[in-house]
């Protein structure tokens, strides 16, 4: 129950982040809805298709569809005021990031895949909705450009998951703790402005 | 038989629309062929992959492959004169839109999916070939930008499908009528220059 | 054994080509790794998803993952000197092209698909990693733009495969010979600067 509420909050945050990008690109109402949808379910869809879980998740559980349509509608209506909500949005997005990572990892485990693949699936679930959003908006995906800690937090959380699994055995704590590690890493990185080391001599 | 002829006309129209965009981008012969292919079968492929119908449709029925290669060849040969055909092309494209929508909906129904998901699949089948075409051509997909009634016609046709299904029961009329609703909506919208309401205060 | 070494060399070459493009775009470390990955396994992943071989190949055989991570690390470290290696890279890439084409064809045959579809799958396996790389980097895919012989070599090799299969029956020679035809076509085309005929009156 608790998990499901967090899941829905994450979906809302991702959907709204999609709406904001689409509005920046001056898309029409249909475009805004699709970008909201793709941002929220794109990562999980890619994961499901690659593993072979079909029909993909959002086709089987209608909650996502309703939540996304609702969020998009709400975000468009309040678009003038949504800037005041940016801090809450950032929090939702970070919570979604942590949760989606662990959901992706566990989906991989259920399919019998190796840990390193599961970590990749977790990161994909959390980050690739945003990647597809950026491709549809004709941008180089933001997570490939900024040296920000974003996908890195997912990878770190994924490593922790398997470490904790070894130490504690299969338990809900593993889920919660490794999700928290993603969230805390991300929060600390933004708070203290930490980033990946630059690969280039002189940044423009 | 009648349906199949319409299906092929739709495929031809979508393939040719791909060729025209690719030529505008000054692609080479291989690029033109791929863009024609992707525009014609991209939406259905995405649908099949997400539902889990694999190998995807165009790998099982060779008609599509031959029709697309033929159309691309023809369109490239007659590229100087194809502008005279733009009205017929628009008609084919609109007919294809209606037909692909209903085909997508029925594919979803056969897979046991809920009506709202089926409508999404119908819209995807009809519109996402063009979306993938635009991504490969490095453009923001045209259906997300113009306020034109295009995907909206598919959604309307999809809603009608399930309404008619309730009223009339399972019959070929449902197929034909809801396809016609897509087509007529699209024709009327273009004729009277109707569009989605703008989300922005002042359009540039 | 021999085949597997070539396969790994191809994977390395494709991964490094991804790193070079990502560095040109000034991506961060995570972006570079993802682009390397996608360039090396993107074509095969698309093929597997469309046929329905899931989980896709690189999730089942960890060799790819290790080889790609290693190559990306190596390429980033030596990025100042990698320009001296461009000729060897071109050779690896060409060998990979030949091998991936035949692997794609045979995957299609095992799935019971028709020859023309198998040729499309072979070409997709060899070329679409680069296509996805270019889309993520926000470019029109290079193989659609240059009039260079690249995908055309794969198609030629694919046609030879089925010709040889008819003449020689099922044997390893068919595999090796048609792979060689891809490689030699590509080498000759580059050496003598051959290209597809232009579709346009006056090239800019």
Q: What is the pLDDT of residue A2?
A: 66
Question: What distance in Å separates the CA atoms of residue A137 and residue A42, rounded to the nearest whole number?
Answer: 14
**Residue B197: DSSP 8-state:** P
Stretches in chain C below the pLDDT threshold 70? 1-3, 201-204
- Using an 8 Å Cβ cutoff, are C158 and C122 in contact? yes
CB contact under 8 A, C23 and A51: no
Got the DSSP string for B45-76? HHHHHHHT--S-HHHH-HHHHHHHHHHHHHHH
Q: What is the pLDDT of residue C204?
A: 43
Q: What is the mean pLDDT of each run of 10 residues along chain B (204 residues)?
A: 74 88 86 92 95 93 93 87 76 87 93 95 94 91 82 94 91 89 93 82 54
Alpha helices in C111-199 (DSSP H): 115-136, 142-145, 151-168, 172-191
For every one of its 204 residues, what pLDDT tens digit does chain A have, with 9 covering 90 and above? 566 777 788 889 899 888 888 888 888 888 899 999 999 999 999 999 999 999 999 999 899 999 999 999 998 888 878 777 777 778 878 888 999 999 999 999 999 999 999 999 999 999 999 999 999 999 889 888 777 788 999 999 999 999 999 998 878 889 889 999 999 999 999 888 888 777 776 544
Length of chain B, in residues = 204
Question: What distance in Å separates the CA atoms of residue B98 and residue B186, rounded to the nearest whole number?
Answer: 9
**Other Cβ atoms within 10 Å of B40 Cβ, number:** 30
Q: What is the pLDDT of residue C147?
A: 73
- Using an 8 Å Cβ cutoff, are C10 and C89 in contact? no
CB contact under 8 A, A199 and C23: yes
Interface test with B, best of A59, A66, A70, A80 (most B CBs within 10 A): A59
**Residue B202: DSSP 8-state:** S
Q: Could you tell me if C152 lies within 8 Å of chain B, comparing CB atoms?
A: yes
Q: What is the pLDDT of residue B38?
A: 93
Token digits of residue A122: 């977790």
Nearest to B28 among C113, C139, C147 (CB): C147
Nearest to A28 among B135, B139, B146 (CB): B146
Q: Where are the domains of chain B?
A: 2-191
Q: What is the pLDDT of residue B204?
A: 43
Nearest to C138 among A139, A143, A200 (CB): A139
Taking Cα atoms as reference points, which of B57, B119, C47, B98 lies closest to residue A59?
B119
Q: What is the pLDDT of residue C143?
A: 85
Chain B residues in contact with C143 (beta carbon < 8 A): 30-31
Alpha helices in B111-171 (DSSP H): 115-136, 142-145, 151-168
Q: Could you tell me if A51 lies within 8 Å of chain C, comparing CB atoms?
A: yes
**Could you tell me which residues come within 8 angstroms of residue B38 by beta carbon, excluding any fewer than 6 positions away?**
B18, B129, B132, B133, B136
Q: What is the pLDDT of residue B2?
A: 65
Q: In chain A, whose CA is at the least distance from the CA of B118? A: A59
Crossing angle of helices C115-136 and A115-136, rounded to 10°:
80
Got the DSSP string for chain A? -HHHHHHHHHHHHHHHHHHHHHHHTT--HHHHHHHHHHHHHHHHHHHHHHHT--S-HHHH-HHHHHHHHHHHHHHHHTTTTGGGGHHHHHHHHHHHHHHHHHHHHHHHHHTT--HHHHHHHHHHHHHHHHHHHHHHTTS--HHHHS-BSSHHHHHHHHHHHHHHHHHH-S-HHHHHHHHHHHHHHHHHHHHTT-BPPPSSSS--
φ/ψ bin of C124: left (φ > 0), alpha (ψ from -120 to 50), beta (otherwise)? alpha
Say which residue the tokens 């569809």 belong to.
A65
Length of chain C, in residues = 204
Chain C residues in contact with B55 (beta carbon < 8 A): 50-52, 111, 113, 117
Q: Could you tell me if C135 lies within 8 Å of chain B, comparing CB atoms?
A: yes
Q: Could you tell me if C30 lies within 8 Å of chain B, comparing CB atoms?
A: no
ipTM of the complex: 0.86
Q: Could you tell me if C167 lies within 8 Å of chain A, comparing CB atoms?
A: no
* Three-state secondary structure call for residue B137: coil
Interface test with B, best of A22, A25, A34, A35 (most B CBs within 10 A): A34
Q: What is the pLDDT of residue C202?
A: 57
Q: Could you tell me if A198 lies within 8 Å of chain C, comparing CB atoms?
A: yes
């Amino acid at each position: 129950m608790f998990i499901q509420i967090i899941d829905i909050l994450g979906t809302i945050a991702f959907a709204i982040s999609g709406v904001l990008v689409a509005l920046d690109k001056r898309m029409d109402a249909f475009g805004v809805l699709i970008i909201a949808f793709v941002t929220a379910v794109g990562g999980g869809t890619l994961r499901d298709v690659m593993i072979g879980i079909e029909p993909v998740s959002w086709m089987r559980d209608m909650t996502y569809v309703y939540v996304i349509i609702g969020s998009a509608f709400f975000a468009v209506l309040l678009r003038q005021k949504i800037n005041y909500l940016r801090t809450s949005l950032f929090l939702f997005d970070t919570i979604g990031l942590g949760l989606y990572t662990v959901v992706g990892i566990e989906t991989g485990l259920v399919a019998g895949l190796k840990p390193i693949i599961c970590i990749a699936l977790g990161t994909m679930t959390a980050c690739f909705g945003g990647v597809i959003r950026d491709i549809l908006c004709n941008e180089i995906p933001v997570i490939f450009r900024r040296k920000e800690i974003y996908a890195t937090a997912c990878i770190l959380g994924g490593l922790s998951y398997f470490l904790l699994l070894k130490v504690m055995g299969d338990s809900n704590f593993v889920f919660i703790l490794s999700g928290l590690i993603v969230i805390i890493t991300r929060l600390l990185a933004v708070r203290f402005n930490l980033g990946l080391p630059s690969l280039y001599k002189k940044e423009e």
